[in-house]
Structure 1
Amino acid sequence: MSDELPNLKRAMRAELRERRRIMTSSEVENATEQFTLHLTHLTERLAAKYVAAYLPNPDEPNIRPWLDWAHTRGIRVLLPISRDDGLLDWVVGDGESEVQGQFGVPEAVGEVLGPIAINEVDLIIVPAASVDRTGMRMGWGRGYYDRMLGSMEQRPPVYAVVFDSELVDEVPGEVHDRPVDGAVTPSGIVELQPST
């Protein structure tokens, strides 16, 4: 019984990855335009001047145009660096310099700030494999974002970026999983109701 949930999540992640890989280039381009529009609107609506986000890998929704927009507006952008101990360090990204980090994930180059740097931001944008209507987020299985969100005493609004089909009625959750406040999809910004 204890192996069922991790196996279910593994199977779901594999299916979601495959769905993302078979998207056409025009579907990806259209989604990217919509992600950029909605993330820009969200940032402006919250009057965020300091945001935490991530550099997407090729299988993730492309938020790079929004990151570029944020840089041109003078919005400070914190980007994560994975540590061996399962925590995230942060770098203030310049929108230009990056390297391939652990697990093949793109990471920004710059002065490394510790895990508590996240406590200063106005908005957090996180990747996800899927999100449900209660705000439960299923990540890619390494737990970095759950640990980060769970360690924050106070946290600003947290939004996951997913494709429309990845916003579902229910994702399997475990005790350590942390909810998000909303999802940004190509169709819009969806406010969720985390059950605490």
Structure 2
Amino acid sequence: MSKTNENSTAWKQALRRDMAARRAALAAAEHAAASARIVGHLLAVLAPPQVVAFCWPIKHEPDVRAIVAHWRQAGSRAALPVVVGAAQPLAFREWSDATPLQADRYGIPTPAAGDWLIPDLILLPLNGFDAAGYRLGYGGGYFDRTLATLRPRPLAVGVGFEINRLPSIRPEAHDQRLDWIVTEAGAFKPVV
């Protein structure tokens, strides 16, 4: 690994820790209110999809399960991502309130069984993000690989808190640009 790559990797690792610490510092009421505002903005700009993929909230990420419940009542199907193998794209397994969940290798609740679905909309958690539409994840590259391979490409909507907005995440060639960024402050299309 070159010195430049080592510096970039170290910078992103430190940034990931800082972004998670910022969310962890939010009071429970503030977190719930900001999550509710995000759900309201999602309702205002997006039509119910055929299949919505979302992530179970971990590490104090926004909780957008209310929009998933709303869309399911409108006839959408919902799915959660499943890591099927290291360095592979994610697969999506159908989820409902009755779906049993088990922790995957990363401790994320995941359906143990159910139909495999292909989403037309993915709600992606934003560990960090920038106005150009790039997202800082947790370093595994799973969503970038997934968005690069799904055809047709689903609408990619990042959901996060304004405290995690950055001037730039210093995107690399493999980073996939999001179609929308939604925070408690509103819904934004990336500045290209």
TM-score by length of 2: 0.88
Give a deviation string over 1:125-183, Cα, whole Å, max 9, x none. 11121111111111111111011011134313211111012233311222221111111
- Is the 1:89–1:112 Cα contact (8 Å) retained in structure 2? no
Q: What is the match of residue 185 of structure 1?
A: 183
Give a deviation string over 1:53-81, Cα, whole Å, max 9, x none. 22112421111222222222221112111
- Structure 1 alignment gaps of length 5 or more: none
Q: What is the match of residue 148 of structure 1?
A: 146
Find the partner of 2:111 among 105, 108, 111.
Answer: 108
SS of structure 2 residue aligned to 1:135: coil
Q: What is the match of residue 95 of structure 2?
A: 93
Q: What is the match of residue 18 of structure 1?
A: 21
Classify 1:193/1:95 alpha carbon distance in 2 versus 1 (closer, same or farther; 3 Å). farther
Classify 1:2/1:59 alpha carbon distance in 2 versus 1 (closer, same or farther; 3 Å). same
SS of structure 2 residue aligned to 1:3: helix
- Structure 2 distance, partners of 1:110, 1:40, is 29
- Is the 1:71–1:77 Cα contact (8 Å) retained in structure 2? yes
Q: What is the match of residue 36 of structure 2?
A: 33
- Structure 1 distance, partners of 2:67, 2:111, is 16
For residues 46-125 of structure 1, the aligned pairs below 5 Å read 47-86=48-87, 87-97=89-99, 98-113=101-116, 117-118=117-118, 121-125=119-123
Q: CA deviation at 1:112?
A: 4.8
- Is the 2:181–2:188 Cα contact (8 Å) retained in structure 1? yes
Q: What is the match of residue 133 of structure 1?
A: 131
- Structure 2 alignment gaps of length 5 or more: none
Give a deviation string over 1:51-108, Cα, whole Å, max 9, x none. 2222112421111222222222221112111122333121111133222112111113
Q: Provide the identity percentage.
A: 26
Amino acid at match of 1:89: A
Amino acid at match of 1:14: R
- Structure 2 distance, partners of 1:32, 1:136, is 20
CA RMSD of aligned residues (A): 1.8
SS of structure 2 residue aligned to 1:2: helix
* 2:7 maps to 1:4: yes
* 2:167 maps to 1:169: yes
Query: How many residue pairs were aligned?
Result: 187
- Is the 1:128–1:137 Cα contact (8 Å) retained in structure 2? yes
